[in-house]
A and B are shown apart, each in its own frame.
Chain A
C-alpha cells in the first residue's frame, strides 16, 4: 500500500530489507530515455523536463496531462524526483505511474502544498516506461524529472547538520545617510546551502556506491532527502560547488566524507 508521508517525500512499498529510512536518499541517477507528453505549449516541449535545467520547462496545454519517458528497455527504478515545478502554486495533484507491460500502474500520488522539490521513494521496480500524471488545478510548468535508483547512504547523518531547506543564503545591504539616518535595506536570496557529513562508511561501500555519485555530482545536480522518515519535508534539488574527497579514519577500514551543496 502506498503511504504518503508528506507533500515533498512520497514513500511507498519500500523494501523492508533496505536500510533505515533515517538514512539519506540521494537521487542522482537519471535514466536515459525518450520523453513525450500528452501536449506541450510552444516553447515548453516535453524534452525540457528531461534535463537538469530549472529554468526550462515542459508545460502542457490542458489538464489532465501526462509526461512520459520511455527507457527503451526494462530498467530498475526505486525513486523519482521532480523539481522546478508549480504543483503547489497551481493546485495540482501529481501521480507517478509505471508501465507493467500491459497497463499503467500508479505508484503513488501527492498534492503538494508548495513548489519545493519532490521525491517518490519506493521498492525497486523493473519497468520500461514511467510517467507523471498531472490533474486538478491549473496548468503548471515542470522543469526537472529524474528517475532511477537512489543511493541509500550506509550511515545516517547525526548531530550538527543544518538542513538545507532551512539554510537560506541571504545577503543584506543597508544604506545610512551622511548624518547616520537609516535609509533602506535590500536583500538578495542566493538559494539554500549546507554541508553533509557521513562517518564510518566502509571502504568497499564507498568505492562501490558513493564514488559513482561523486563522479556524477561533478556535472549534474541531484535530489537528496537527508532523513526521510523524520523530516520528509526536507527534500532538496542541489549541486556541489567543490570536489568531494573521502578520508580514511582510524585503524579500521572505514571512511568519512563531507560535501557542500547549494540548491533551490
Chain B
C-alpha cells in the first residue's frame, strides 16, 4: 500500500528515543546495592559513576485502530517497542522558509518547525521500561500509569530525539516519511488523562538561549598594562578560553579588553595565569589603550576570506548542540560553490552574540537560506538562484483539492531601493551606526519608483559586518531588487497525498484557474513551496507557496574549454547550465533566446 493506492490506509507512528543504561543492576561495573532496583535511567540510577547511555529504547505510539502495526525491532543495544495505541493527535507548525528575507513577519531564517503530540495516559505493565519487571514485589500493571512512571524515570527528557512516521499499512517504518524533532516540553497528565508533548526542529538548538558565539570568556586581566606593552600581558581564568582556536585565523587568536582587540599567537602557563606571547596591540580597527587589572577579557572570533555558507555551518556545528550528522557538508559546498562563490567573507564577532543572529546576517548578506527539512532529517542550504531541469507541474484539474485555493499579496514586502553599509571599521563599535562603516552602496529601481509604476519609495537598509567589496554589494542589491521589485504573491492550496513528494523549498509550475493573463487565459507560473503540512496524515497536505521571483531566462555559468558549439549541443546540455555567446541581437544561431549574465 502506498500514497497512490486506492483505499490506502494511512498510518502514523510517534517515536521517542530514550537513552538507557546497558548495565545490569548490581553486576560489575554497576555497584548499586539498594533495596529496590533502578529502571536503567539516569534519574533512577543508584551508581551514577558507572551510568552509561549505551542502550536506547525507542518508544512507539500509534492511533487506536484495528490490526495494530508491528513496530517491534530489536538490535544490539536497541529496543524498539511495539506501538502503544495511545496516540490521540499530532499537530504541526511546519517549517516556513523566508527566502531572501522578504517576509517581515519571519526572521531571515524563517519559522522553525514544531509539533505538538497528544497522548492518552493509561495503565502499563512495564514490559519494555523495566528490565526487572518480573522481580518486583508488585504487579506493574496495577500500579500508576505509563506517563506518571515514565516522567519520573526520565526527568531529563529535554532534547530527547523524537520522530513522526507517516505512511501506509503494509509499509515498514523505514519506508514511511520520517520527520525528526527534539523534545522541548512535556505537560500532563491532565485530569482528562492526556499528555502533551511539544517538540521543535533540531535547528532550534541554534536558538539564542542555547547557542552563543563566542562563548562568554571566563578571563580577567591579572595586572594593569599600558597602551604600548606587548609583554607581561597576563590573563587569569580558564585555560580553554585562552587556548581555543576560533574562527579561521588559526593560532592568530584575538582577545578583547574594553574597546581594544589584541592579537596573540601563544601563551605560557603559571598555575591559572596565562601570559600572552606574540602580542600585537590595537588590531582589527581598534586602538591600543591602557587597561586596569581585574578588567574582563573576552575572546573574539574572526573569519578571514571564508565562504559565507562555511561560516554558517561552523557556527551551527561548533557553537550549538546541533549534531554534525544533520548537515550534509558535501551538498552545502556543491550549492555554495555553484552560486555563492563571490561571497568570501571577512568579519569579526567581538562579543557573545546569538548564533541565530549571525546566521541571519550571513544568509541576508550572501543571498542563501537554510531550513530544517524534517523529511530528509537535514539542515539544508540553498542559494537564491534560478531553477533548471525538469520542473514538476500541478493544476486545478488534477492536483488542487476543491475549495482549498486562495491567493494573496503583500505590498509591504516590495522594494524599490537597497542601501548597504559595508566595510565595518571597528567590530567593537555599534553594528548599526552609519559612522562605523567605510562605504555605502545604494541601488535604486527608478522605474518602480516613478509615477507610472508604484509611485513610492520602499527601501531596505543593511549594515553588514561581512561585505567588504563593491562587487559583493552589487550582487546582493541587484539580486534583492530583482526578487522584490514586484509585490510578492502568496498562494495556499491543499493536495491529495498522491502528490506528497512535493515538499518545502520545491519550485513547481502551477496552473490554477484563478491565475490568468490579461486576456483571461489561465497562466502557468513558477511558485516555491515555503511551507508544507500534512493536515490529515497520509491523506491531505496543505501548501503555502510564494511566486518564484529568482528565475531568470536561461541562467548559465562558465563551462569547460572543450564544450561543443551551441548548434551541436543536445537539449539537455543547453539546459544544464552551460552558456554560449549570443549574437548582437541576443539570440543563438538557431533563434533561441541568449543566456543572461548574472
Binding site for B on A (CB under 8 A): 40-48, 50-51, 53-57, 168-169, 173, 175-181, 183-192, 264
Contacts and interface: CB of A to CB of B under 8 A. Distances in A.
A186 B535 CA distance: 14
A59 to B, nearest CB: 9
Contact of B8 (A169, A185, A190, A192): A185
Given A46-B134, A184-B8, A173 B66 contact: no
B139 A47 contact: yes
A212 B270 CA distance: 82
Interface in B7-40: 7-10
Contact of A51 (B8, B10, B123): B123
Contacts of B128: 43
Contacts of A51: 123, 125, 141
B584 interface: no
B357 interface: no
Given A43-B128, A47-B139, A191-B66, A56 B82 contact: yes
Nearest to A40: B134
B74 A190 contact: no
A177 B539 contact: no
A57 B64 CA distance: 17
B66 A181 contact: no
Given A43-B81, A186-B497, A176 B133 contact: no
A54 B539 contact: no
B401 A183 contact: yes
Interface of B: 3-4, 6-10, 64-68, 72, 74, 79, 81-85, 123-125, 127-128, 133-134, 139-141, 396-405, 495-498, 512-513, 536, 538-540
Contacts of B81: 43
Closest 10 CB pairs of A and B: A183-B496, A178-B396, A184-B496, A186-B539, A191-B66, A51-B141, A175-B496, A189-B66, A48-B127, A43-B128
Contacts of A186: 7-10, 497, 536, 538-539
Contacts of B398: 177, 181, 183
Given A177-B400, A181-B398, A188 B125 contact: no
Contacts of B513: 178-179
Nearest to A192: B66
B514 to A, nearest CB: 9
10 contacts: A40-B134, A42-B79, A47-B140, A48-B125, A54-B68, A56-B124, A178-B405, A179-B396, A184-B498, A185-B6
Contact of A177 (B82, B139, B401, B540): B401
B67 to A, nearest CB: 7
Contacts of B6: 184-185
B125 A53 contact: yes
Q: Which of A44, A53, A180 has the most CB of B within 10 A?
A: A53
B552 to A, nearest CB: 31
A108 to B, nearest CB: 27
B65 A188 contact: yes
Nearest to A54: B68
Given A185-B7, A186-B539, A55 B68 contact: yes
A187 B397 CA distance: 23
B74 A43 contact: yes
Nearest to B6: A185
Contacts of B127: 43-45, 47-48, 56-57
B541 to A, nearest CB: 10
A179 B401 CA distance: 9
B195 to A, nearest CB: 17
B74 A42 contact: yes
Q: Which of A177, A190, A192 has the most CB of B within 10 A?
A: A177
Given A45-B134, A55-B82, A177 B399 contact: yes
A3 B497 CA distance: 50
A169 B67 CA distance: 12
B74 to A, nearest CB: 7
Given A178-B396, A190-B65, 5 more contacts: A45-B133, A175-B496, A178-B397, A187-B7, A188-B9
Contacts of A178: 396-397, 400-405, 512-513
B84 A168 contact: no
A187 B9 contact: yes
A47 B125 contact: yes
A9 to B, nearest CB: 20
A47 B81 CA distance: 16
A34 to B, nearest CB: 9
Nearest to A168: B66
Given A178-B402, A183-B498, A264-B66, A53 B141 contact: yes
Contacts of B64: 190-191
A188 B4 CA distance: 16
Nearest to B169: A189
A191 B512 CA distance: 40
A191 B67 CA distance: 8
Contacts of A168: 66
Nearest to A43: B128
A15 to B, nearest CB: 32
A56 B126 CA distance: 9
Contacts of A192: 66
Q: Which of B82, B123, B400 has the most CB of A within 10 A?
A: B82
A121 B81 CA distance: 33
A47 B85 contact: no
Given A45-B127, A53-B123, A55-B84, A176 B134 contact: no
